[in-house]
Structure 1
């Protein structure tokens, strides 16, 4: 194996498909994804390869994780890593590309809608939690410089969460419309 390269790419949870595409492009250049630690991706340099990558979001307990990973292994997917997220875990997989795109994890409308809905729901709960933990005490403290900074920070977070929620909602809507 060649050298290790770290790349800065701040994707949000609604951009996991773009993230998969990025990994595929990097593999075609000989840089294979091995690790993620926000917001850096680590790649090992090797021979260029034609791989497809899949990212899945699951709420699994330890007793279900082993059978979940085995299911993908049995289907030819190489487990790369897991990354604990908000109320769930992101699982990263890869396998050599084939002409048959149906070998991807999420190919039908229902499974994609379910995945987008699960991500949207979990992040909405986290958003509410953040609001309760940060803003409710802030309202009680009154108007201080710290309060103003917290309002600004909260506004930025709210805009990011609104973008994520809207983008996932539009993906779900578009998938449902394409079924008709």
Structure 2
């Protein structure tokens, strides 16, 4: 089965993948919003999505994951889709507040340049809008929507970081 979904928030995406697993669907691959699933036992897998950490080689990271019994389902850009059999116990990459906070901070750092790029690209459409170009109007609206999506996601992760700071 193939499903299309578009997520900017990896936590929401991860929650959805785990819901799909509970319904008996195991993720097999991902590309540009298209998720390929195969039938499995309901709840057989637990999924985590990770952003490749800075300072580690990809090979080191993948070897470490495999040594700990984590299966690398797929990789897209800097995102890695991971799973582990639920029968092997809980699966959390970031089990303490400090490491979770660092993970969220790296996501914010990763998304901010894209957010600013979308805003700049949208503002570059303004002269064309003044000229009445429908293509520029459409581009401007699309770029503003993307900008707002990144902004919302960044704010969401910043709230999570603030919440962790209160707990520490």
TM bucket, shorter chain: 0.7 to 0.9
Task: Report the Cα distance in structure 2 between the residues aligned to 1:97 and 1:142, rounded to whole angstroms.
Answer: 53
Q: 1:159 aligns with which of 138, 148, 152?
A: 148
* TM-score with structure 2 setting the length: 0.84
Number of residue equivalences: 166
- 2:12 matched residue in structure 1: 18
Name the CA shift for 1:59/1:105 in 2 (closer, same or farther; >3 Å).
Answer: closer
Paired residue for 2:47, among 47, 53, 58?
53
Tell me the C-alpha RMSD between the 2 structures.
2.5
Structure 2 contact 118–144 (Cα < 8 Å) conserved: no
Q: Give the secondary structure class of the aligned counterpart of 2:42.
A: coil
How far apart in 2 are the matches of 1:162 and 1:134?
14
> Residues 108 and 154 of structure 2 are in contact (CA less than 8 Å); yes or no, is this contact kept in structure 1?
yes
Write out the 4+ residue segments of structure 1 that deviate beyond 6 Å after TM superposition: none
Mapped partners of 1:30, 1:139: distance in 2: 48
1:15-164 correspondence to structure 2 within 5 Å: 16-58=10-52, 64-84=57-77, 89-97=78-86, 101=90, 103-136=91-124, 138-139=125-126, 143-146=130-133, 147-164=136-153
- Which runs of 5 or more residues in structure 2 are unaligned? none
Contact 1:32 1:43 in 2 (8 A): yes
Q: TM-score, normalised by structure 1?
A: 0.79
After superposition, the Cα gap between the structure-2 partners of 1:100 and 1:34, relative to the gap in structure 1 and judged at 3 Å, is closer
Q: Deviations over 1:88-131 (max 9, x none)?
A: x1001111125854x41111111111111111112111122233
CA distance in 1 between partners of 2:20 and 2:44 (Å): 10
